[in-house]
Amino acid sequence: MLTLASTDSYVGIALAMIIVLGVGAQWLAWKIRIPSILLLLIFGILAGPVMRSIFEGTPFAIDPDALFDKDILLSLVGIAVGLILYEGGLTLNFKELRSTWKPVTLLVTTGALVTWIIAGISAYYFFGLDRPTAILLGAILIVTGPTVVGPMLAHIRPSGDTGLILKWEGIVIDPIGVGAAVLVFEVITSTSTSSGISSIFQSIAITIAAGVGLGVFSALLLQNLLTRFWVPDFLQNPVSLMLVIATFTASNQIMPESGLLATTVMGIALGNQKKVDVHHILEFKENLRVLLIAMLFIVLAARLQIEQLASLNWLSVFGFLFVLIVIARPTAVFLATVGAGLTWRERMFLAWLAPRGIVAAAAAAIFSLGLERNGMAGGESLVPITFSVIIGTVAFYGLTTPWAAKLLGVADQNPQGIIFVGAPSWVRSIAKVLTDRGIKVLLIDTNRQNVRDARMAHLPALQGNILTISDITELDLRGIGGVFATTPNDEVNTLALQRFKGIFESSKLYQLPGTKTKKSSEEASSDRRWRVLFDANAQYGRLESRLHNGWVVKATTISEEFTYDDYHTLYGSTALPLFTVSPAGLMTVSTVDKPVEPEAGDTIIALVNPEELFVL
């Protein structure tokens, strides 16, 4: 049997496994369309406590405590969470609060207090914790977190303001929940009740001053460094990373755990200033976040001990989860959304989504160690209970929320709509056929006449330059699932799609084949950053010419009697397939790398020449 005799070998294998399992879990979760955090936790528990209990001594059993000193590990976890909240803050735009400020504010205040009280009381009775530890656990479980809410929202794509409310709540609630836990910890570890209570107001003031002050200062500092061109392009992301870590550390030195507030404020302040473009920083942080989440969940789940999990009364766990899901969350949401202008369906959806994530896990680990160092009982229960809540809430919400969103009519899953960048006559012809089949379209063009003609045809159209629109997310993207770059300029098409990267998957970004040279299908596909529309010869000029010469966009249903071969016989070999629409309304785009292959029941939308029509 392999042993840990070779420490270097073990460390190398364990670190590699953490990255492989973390990234692999997220890829597999994307592939099978389940919340990634669920697989991350499962992989971490299997590779950690399960493997350690079955194959003790093998280097393929991850033991974080053998890899890292506890203090170092928890410090790294804190910094990683701070970076995740910074990235989340960058995505928050104050313009989003115009219609959602009231429910967001009440959710992170009144809603948080309600959750805290109900969770604390339930923990006291279900797990037999002493009152201070139960109150501390209730504070920890206030948080939801962008690491779990964000991926779920991306999968569900809720309509209306619910998505914005949940996004803001998930990011802002984290430093609030951790701050509440810090205050409780300060009180229960204080030498006297009077000094503990008196320290609460002082701690609150210091936390807010340190977090907000340092966050805003660091954001202004980075803004000025970039505005004055004092940082070269290749160092902008590293300098941003450096300032976030420095801000987090400095704030924590002033007041423990206030660093999360500081990094969140820094992200929000930087994301809402207008003097310097920070999209490249946001893209870098998004990529970094994926790796951080992968490593954090694997490491923290692997730290669990089988004895800790076995010591839990699982009947109590299920009862506690029932209270959190069925009582605490709905109560918090309905109190926070009174008079907010939301429909009862939207309020129900908000009440159906409150998974706990990495911040809860990290906070439980930190405060458990703190209680242990202060010689206080109950700390050993924080981590297993918190992880059971994380697993339970992620499993429940991850598996039921998509169904609930669809049932409530607030889901925008698998949207079929298309944004057309460019609105010439042939695009308008295609868009008209799509809208007639219930597929949403939005046309954007700088040409006033094209926009006017589109609106005359009852097509939604916007006059503007996609390259100069300040915030793409301000467009109404509900029901939109892809973008077609259909201008006559290859460079404009490429730049236009670049602006939508991150909002849509690259597989949903399409452009016309190049106009400069004639290329084979393989060449046309390989030299493009995006998927190439329709056919290697479907350049802008050719499509425009065909419409001008009488070709039409026509929808035809394929059946058992009228096969695709019959279709080719009827419309000739020159017919250009554009899309297929299944009986369920799912649309498939024909591309150079993957031409459509309609089956019986599908409707094929194609550009055909009526003069070549052959009567069967």
CA distance 468 to 499: 10
Q: What is the widest separation between alpha-carbon atoms in the chain?
A: 95
CA distance 443 to 461: 4
* pLDDT tier at 582, thresholds 50, 70, 90: confident
* pLDDT tier at 616, thresholds 50, 70, 90: very low
Would you state the torsion angle of the CA atoms of residues 379, 382, 385, 386, taken in this order, to the nearest 10 degrees?
-170
CA distance 156 to 352: 12
- Start-end ranges of CATH 1.20.1530.20 in the chain? 7-408
CA 236, 238, 242: angle at the middle one, nearest 5? Answer: 115
CA distance 539 to 528: 14
Share of the chain above pLDDT 70, in %: 90
* CA-based nearest residue to 149, from 360, 376, 449: 360
Q: What is the pLDDT of residue 246?
A: 94
Whether 368 shows a pLDDT value over 80: the answer reads yes
Residue found under tokens 């059946």? 559
The answer to whether the CB of 614 falls within 8 A of the CB of 556 is no
Question: Ranked by mean pLDDT, which of 41-45, 120-124, 309-313 comes out on top?
Answer: 120-124
Whether 189 shows a pLDDT value over 60: the answer reads yes
Give the orientation angle of helix 425-436 with respect to helix 540-548, to 10 degrees. Answer: 80
Tokens of 169: 């709540």
Whether 604 shows a pLDDT value over 60: the answer reads yes
Phi, psi of 368 (to 5 degrees): -65, -45
Q: Catalogue the long-range contacts made by 170-173 (C-beta closer than 8 Å, 24 or more residues apart).
A: 170/88, 170/144, 170/145, 170/146, 171/85, 171/88, 171/89, 171/91, 171/92, 171/146, 171/264, 172/92, 172/104, 172/108, 172/264, 173/107, 173/108, 173/112, 173/142, 173/143, 173/144, 173/145
The answer to whether the CB of 364 falls within 8 A of the CB of 383 is yes
Q: pLDDT tens, 105-156?
A: 888 889 999 999 999 999 999 988 888 889 999 999 998 877 778 777 776 7
The answer to whether the CB of 265 falls within 8 A of the CB of 89 is yes
Q: What is the pLDDT of residue 470?
A: 64
Q: pLDDT tens, 454-469?
A: 888 888 888 888 877 7
**Beta 480-485 vs 417-421: how paired, if at all?**
parallel
Q: What is the pLDDT of residue 521?
A: 47
- What type of residue is 294? A
CA distance 422 to 444: 6
The DSSP 8-state label assigned to residue 533 in this structure reads: B
Listed in order, strand segments (DSSP E) in 528-602 are 531-532, 552-557, 576-581, 587-589
Q: Which contiguous run of DSSP H or E holds residue 126?
A: helix 112-127
CA distance 158 to 346: 9
Tokens of 314: 């699982």
* pLDDT tier at 325, thresholds 50, 70, 90: very high
CA distance 363 to 77: 9
* pLDDT tier at 413, thresholds 50, 70, 90: low
Tokens of 243: 């300032």
Q: What is the pLDDT of residue 322?
A: 95
517 CB neighbour count, 10 Å cutoff: 9
The answer to whether the CB of 532 falls within 8 A of the CB of 524 is yes
Average pLDDT, the chain: 81
Mean pLDDT calculated for residue range 329-334: 92
CA 386 distance to own-chain centroid: 22
What 3-state DSSP class applies to 480?
A: strand
Whether 170 shows a pLDDT value over 80: the answer reads yes
Lowest mean pLDDT among 87-96, 150-159, 517-526: 517-526
**Beta 603-608 vs 552-557: how paired, if at all?**
antiparallel
Domain at 417-612, CATH from 3.30.420.40, 1.10.10.10, 3.40.50.720, 3.40.630.40: 3.40.50.720
The answer to whether the CB of 540 falls within 8 A of the CB of 515 is yes
Give the orientation angle of helix 259-272 with respect to helix 162-188, to 10 degrees. Answer: 150
CA distance 179 to 113: 13
Tokens of 239: 């300098």
The answer to whether the CB of 430 falls within 8 A of the CB of 422 is no
Tokens of 313: 């009364």
* pLDDT tier at 330, thresholds 50, 70, 90: very high
575 CB neighbour count, 10 Å cutoff: 20
CA distance 358 to 508: 30
- Start-end ranges of CATH 3.40.50.720 in the chain? 417-612
The answer to whether the CB of 544 falls within 8 A of the CB of 424 is yes
**Beta 531-532 vs 509-511: how paired, if at all?**
parallel
* CA-based nearest residue to 559, from 525, 596, 599, 532: 599
Q: What is the pLDDT of residue 56?
A: 66
CA distance 362 to 510: 41
Q: What is the pLDDT of residue 204?
A: 77
User: Greater confidence, 502 or 85?
Assistant: 85
* pLDDT tier at 291, thresholds 50, 70, 90: confident
Share of the chain above pLDDT 90, in %: 10
CA distance 499 to 492: 11
Q: pLDDT tens, 210-228?
A: 888 999 999 999 999 988 8
Q: How far apart are the first and last CA of the chain?
A: 74
Residue found under tokens 């609105």? 423
Whether 10 shows a pLDDT value over 80: the answer reads no
Q: pLDDT tens, 336-360?
A: 888 777 888 888 988 888 888 878 8
CA distance 172 to 268: 10
Domain at 7-408, CATH from 3.10.105.10, 3.30.43.10, 1.20.1070.10, 1.20.1530.20: 1.20.1530.20
Whether 7 shows a pLDDT value over 70: the answer reads no
